[in-house]
Structure 1
Amino acid sequence: MAIYIDTIGKASIHKLIVVVECKSCGRQARFLSKDLAGVYGHSRDPRTLPFKCQQCDTYDCKIMMEFPDFDRVREKTIWRPMKVKGP
């Protein structure tokens, strides 16, 4: 069955992992979709989120979604998003 995910809310229902990859250096970061929905709202398109690469200092990132792989147990780092208030 193919599903079209156009909001973070739909991704969190299916418990997807949002993978962000920098187009310049290839660095990846993974986030739980339910954490992103709590910060940015359930109706936001995940492909429009403002991710910034720490290494390249650019916003040019590719955003993908994947199902968690329960068959193969491998170590993954899941980042937690948070909003930081400026001075």
Structure 2
Amino acid sequence: MTILIDTLGKAARHNMLVQAHCRKCGRQAKFLATDLVRFYSPGRRIETLPFKCRECDASDCRIVPIEFITDRTRETIVWRPTKVKQPG
């Protein structure tokens, strides 16, 4: 039986990564779904997460959940989301 991973909560429950891929420049970044649940609702659909490319400043990103395979991957860079309070 296969499960459709369509929400952030489901991805977090299965210890998955969320990959944001910029359609304009091709840059990609991976985040732990459990980290993203701290900032967004677990019921939020994954493809609606608001990502903005740091390189080209575009917000046209393809967001997909991917399996976090530790035994076959040599090295994976995982970014940690932070919320920064603006001065003023």
Same fold per superposition (TM over 0.5)? yes
Residue 17 of structure 1: CA displacement?
Answer: 0.5
Deviation, structure 1 residue 77: 0.7
- Where 1:47 maps in the other structure, the secondary structure is helix
Instruction: State the distance in 1 between where 2:57 and 2:3 align.
Output: 33
Q: Following superposition of structure 1 onto structure 2, how do residues 27-66 of structure 1 map, counting pairs within 5 Å?
A: 27-66=27-66
- Partner of 1:11 in structure 2? 11
Scaled by the length of structure 2, what TM-score is found?
A: 0.89
Please list every run of at least 4 consecutive aligned residues from structure 1 whose deviation after the TM superposition is greater than 3 angstroms. none
Identity of aligned residues (%): 51
What one-letter code is carried by the residue in structure 2 that aligns with 1:67? E
* 1:46-70 residue CA offsets vs partner (Å, 9 max, x unmatched): 2111100011101000011111113
Report the Cα offset of residue 86 of structure 1.
2.8
Question: How many equivalent pairs are there?
Answer: 87
Aligned-residue RMSD, C-alpha: 1.3
Gaps of 5+ in 1: none
State the alpha-carbon separation in 2 of the partners of residues 21 and 30 from structure 1.
9
